[in-house]
């Protein structure tokens, strides 16, 4: 479960949206006018990993359509309770690479800091849905330990703020952290991974832009958009603000059965991302996390889809098809074959 702590510390506009998010399956079914046949299963599946959907995301879901691709990403389903061989609680080996509370160091040159353990939306395929967040909520003195770790390793050039979602932390907290990161001379780059820009786009406030773009670090924001319907005018406004401030904006998607596992959807996604000012970066194979096996797409099908993207789009709009394998020194490319 990904907890929602300290929301009272955050600025009112997006705090209100977080507070007002839909958390009860019964309310979700009512608001979307859904047939209640799948409600009992949703209630059971939401006990382990609660439902959490903000209204800005809800507004992009088609009413009455249980198969809507955005709804599929947030609706708890009975299949989540099945134990499927090969799908575990630590699918990418993060718990062995967690040397300090709030810090994951898996790849050379970059380190991931968990700036917050809360999220603006609960994605049912999340690879961290079983992560021990209770052990990774650093207090201020533990942040000092994490900063000492970063100071002591000259090979670290990039810090990735992750979570949960790092933007659930307040701008004051994030500004404090980024100021200290910028004071470590060998750190050059700051990367922020977030779902906020589609879940609650108004999170990109002026205060946010100040810490994000105002330090000496080169800043990149990586969004997680899986379907073109997630991209509305609200996201366009947020991305324009980021780009005007000088922040590069990339996207990584997860290939998900029933959401985006067809060539037309993926092609439209790349085109719409680019129209919104976002460069497609990665298309991830699903991490084999317990509770998400029903989203899995086979490697052969993924290669076929990637080949279709190569045939349909200019190279810069084709995301790299990758998978994460525990213990490897980087993400691994899943090569695609040319279309026949
Ligand atoms: S994918 Fe990201 S935003 Fe979604 S539940 Fe997981 S950590 Fe949170």
Which tens digit of pLDDT belongs to each residue from 247-269? 999 999 999 999 999 999 999 99
What is the distance in A from the centroid of ligand 1 to the CA of 124? 8
Mean pLDDT, rounded, of the chain:
92
Q: Does the structure show a pLDDT above 80 at 184?
A: yes
Q: Which atom of ligand 1 is nearest to the CA of 128?
A: 6
Which tens digit of pLDDT belongs to each residue from 38-96? 999 999 999 989 999 999 999 999 999 999 999 999 999 999 999 999 999 888 776 77
3-state secondary structure the chain: CCCCCCHHHCCHHHHHHHHCCECCHHHHHHHCCCCHHHHHHHHHHHHHCCCCECHHHHCCCCCCCCCCCCHHHHCCCHHHHCCCCCCECCCCCHHHCCCECCEECCCCCEEEEECCCCCCCCCCCCCCCCCCHHHCCCCHHHHHHHHHHHHCCCCCCEEEEECCCHHHCCHHHHHHHHHHHHCCCCCCEEEEEECHHHHCHHHCCHHHHHHHHCCCCEEEEEECCCCHHHCCHHHHHHHHHHHHCCCEEEEEEECCCCCCCCHHHHHHHHHHHHHHCCEEEEEECCCCECCCHHHCCCHHHHHHHHHHHHHHCCHHHCCEEEECCCCCCCCEECCCCCCC
What is the distance in A from the centroid of ligand 1 to the CA of 339? 33
Q: Band of the pLDDT at 338, cuts 50, 70, 90? A: very low
Q: Band of the pLDDT at 324, cuts 50, 70, 90? A: confident
What is the distance in A from the centroid of ligand 1 to the CA of 317? 24
Probe target for ligand 1 pocket from 128, 136, 251, with the most ligand atoms within 8 Å of CB: 128
- Tell the CATH topology of 94-333: TIM Barrel (3.20.20)
Q: What is the pTM of this model?
A: 0.91
Nearest-CA residue for atom 4 of ligand 1: 123
Residues in contact with ligand 1 by the CB-under-6-Å rule are 2, 119, 121-123, 126, 128, 163-165, 195
């Amino acid at each position: 479960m990904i907890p929602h702590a300290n929301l009272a510390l955050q600025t009112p506009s997006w705090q209100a949206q977080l507070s007002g998010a839909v958390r009860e399956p019964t309310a979700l079914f009512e608001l979307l006018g859904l047939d209640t046949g799948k409600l009992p299963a949703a209630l059971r599946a939401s006990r382990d990993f609660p439902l959490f959907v903000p209204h800005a995301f809800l507004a992009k879901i088609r009413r009455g359509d249980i198969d809507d691709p955005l709804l599929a990403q947030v609706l708890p389903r009975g299949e989540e309770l099945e134990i499927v061989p090969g799908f575990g609680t630590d699918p990418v080996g993060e718990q062995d690479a967690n040397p300090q509370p709030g810090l994951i160091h898996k790849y050379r040159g970059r380190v991931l800091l968990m700036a917050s353990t809360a999220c603006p939306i609960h994605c049912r395929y999340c690879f961290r849905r079983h992560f021990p967040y209770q052990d990774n909520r650093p207090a201020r003195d533990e942040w000092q330990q994490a900063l000492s770790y970063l100071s002591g390793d000259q090979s670290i050039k990039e810090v990735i703020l992750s979570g949960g979602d790092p933007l659930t932390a307040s701008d004051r907290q994030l500004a404090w952290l980024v100021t200290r990161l910028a004071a470590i001379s060998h750190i050059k780059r700051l990367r922020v991974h977030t779902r906020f820009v589609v879940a609650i786009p108004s999170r990109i406030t002026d205060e946010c832009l100040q810490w994000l773009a105002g330090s000496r670090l080169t800043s990149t924001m990586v969004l997680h958009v899986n379907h073109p319907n997630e991209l509305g005018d609200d996201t366009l406004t947020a991305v324009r603000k980021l780009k005007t401030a000088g922040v590069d904006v990339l996207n990584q998607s997860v290939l998900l059965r029933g959401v985006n596992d067809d060539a037309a959807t993926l092609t439209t996604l790349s085109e719409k991302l680019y129209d919104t000012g976002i460069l497609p970066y990665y298309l991830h194979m699903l991490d084999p996390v317990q509770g998400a096996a029903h989203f899995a797409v086979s490697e052969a099908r993924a290669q076929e889809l990637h080949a279709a993207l190569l045939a349909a789009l200019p190279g810069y709009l084709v995301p790299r098809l990758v998978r994460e394998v525990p213990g490897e020194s980087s993400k691994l490319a899943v090569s695609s074959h040319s279309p026949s």
